[in-house]
Amino acid sequence: MNSKVLVTALLAVAAAHAELKVLANFPNGSVGQVSAVNPLHLRVGMKGQTDQDGRNRQASWYSFEVSGVPKGAEVIIDLVDLPGEYNYQANRGAITNDTRPYWKEGKKGLWQEALGDYDPEEPKWRLRIRPKKSTFYVAHIPPYTEKNLGLLRKALKPSIELLGKSIGGKPLELWTFDLSGGKADAPVVWMMFRQHAWEAGTSWAGDGFMRNLPPGVVWKILPWNDPDGVETGGVRFNQKGFDLNRNWDAPNDVSKRPEILAQKTAIEAWLKEGKKIDLFLTLHNTETGEYLEGPPESKLGRDLYAVLKDRTSFDPDRDYFSRMKVEGAGRANVIQWLWGTHKVPAMLMELRVAHSKKLGKRPNAEIWSEFGAALAKQIAALLLVAK
Ligand SMILES: [Zn+2]
């Protein structure tokens, strides 16, 4: 028997005894139904999440561990059950050819794009992974968990206000970095990161943003609005099914939407004290779109758009625009509510997770973090010059 035949024979034996195990029992983990095609080929379903009416299924988050890989074996993972619905329109799902999954070797490996192909027919992603270790991880994009935020909190020591608790009892916090130097007329910026649990890219951006705050500004930061979702691998709805970036005009109800209520109350309390908000900006991730939207005819919006396009990795696929009309009761997002109710210059930015032409690659944790730093710098420069 030559050595190649021997290796193949041993692998066949190993495969017959392989017992791959798929788990998501860790922070931000998420996985749906798992079945085996053969001992080294698994079909891994996306758990997805639906809203309070069982509609708008979105399956754009998965993060799981595969263990028990025999030495030298190639594992095939089919990611299935991808289709969903967005704003009540059926779609093929958020996981497509544009969003090649990430994987890493063992707990300490580096996230990298997985080998494999997208099959638009089923649709599914078929990954071929040959790890050196017996355990590997697969995720939609590199996760950012409570542990990461904890490290940031410890490093930066912001002034923290507890705004309330999530359905799951987790603290909802407002972080303040008063860098005004005592100047009463210093610009005030409110930032919101990770409104939706799956959008880890915005947390990476927030991390870079907060570590690089320019002086002269009062920075009010809402680090995330869905700590339960971040913990349990949620997508965009809280534990009662409410979309964290809709429902801002729905009745205040602490039993259903404590997260939105906590943030709303904090912003309104600030305004009621007669304090200003020069800019409010919430960051989101999409699969392929990248843009900035805000109030109509906003000079600040257009200027911010221009400098970001010019000087940062921001790679918009459309011009600055406005859509402040709310599509039915309970459908207002945070900026529609803030602008509509309080005339706050409120803006929303989407950052894509797919390939960026400008970068020549896909963004990752490091790129998002650098973008966050650049965003803070450009916002401060614009507002300080405007004064
Ligand atoms: Zn979002």
Residue-level pLDDT at 91: 86
Residue-level pLDDT at 12: 55
pLDDT in tens, 147-183: 999 999 999 999 999 999 999 999 999 999 999 999 9
Are residues 230 and 163 located together in one domain of the fold? yes
* CATH assignment of the domain containing 224: 3.40.630.10
The DSSP bridge pattern shows strands 21-23 and 124-129 to be unpaired
Q: Is 85 helix (H, G, I), strand (E, B) or coil?
A: strand
Provide the domain count of the chain.
2
State the residue range of the domain holding 45: 3-139
Are residues 230 and 282 located together in one domain of the fold? yes
123 C-alpha to ligand 1 centroid (Å): 23
Report CA dihedral (253, 255, 258, 260) to the nearest 10 degrees. Answer: -40
Picking from 139, 156, 187, the residue at the C-terminal end of a domain is 139
Are residues 22 and 171 located together in one domain of the fold? no
Are residues 340 and 222 located together in one domain of the fold? yes
Are residues 114 and 249 located together in one domain of the fold? no
Are residues 113 and 152 located together in one domain of the fold? no
Residue-level pLDDT at 136: 98
104 C-alpha to ligand 1 centroid (Å): 25
277 C-alpha to ligand 1 centroid (Å): 22
348 C-alpha to ligand 1 centroid (Å): 9
Residue-level pLDDT at 92: 83
147 C-alpha to ligand 1 centroid (Å): 21
Q: 10 Å Cβ neighbour count for 319?
A: 11
Residue-level pLDDT at 14: 56
Picking from 139, 167, 192, the residue at the C-terminal end of a domain is 139
288 C-alpha to ligand 1 centroid (Å): 13
DSSP 362-377: ---HHHHHHHHHHHHH
89 C-alpha to ligand 1 centroid (Å): 17
Residue 302 has φ and ψ, to the nearest 5°, of: -65, -40
Cα-based distances in Å from 22 to 58, 65, 66, 67, 197: 21, 6, 5, 7, 22
* CATH assignment of the domain containing 52: 2.60.40.3120
- With a cut of 50, which residues of the chain have pLDDT below it? 1
pTM of the model: 0.94
Are residues 116 and 181 located together in one domain of the fold? no
Picking from 104, 122, 139, the residue at the C-terminal end of a domain is 139
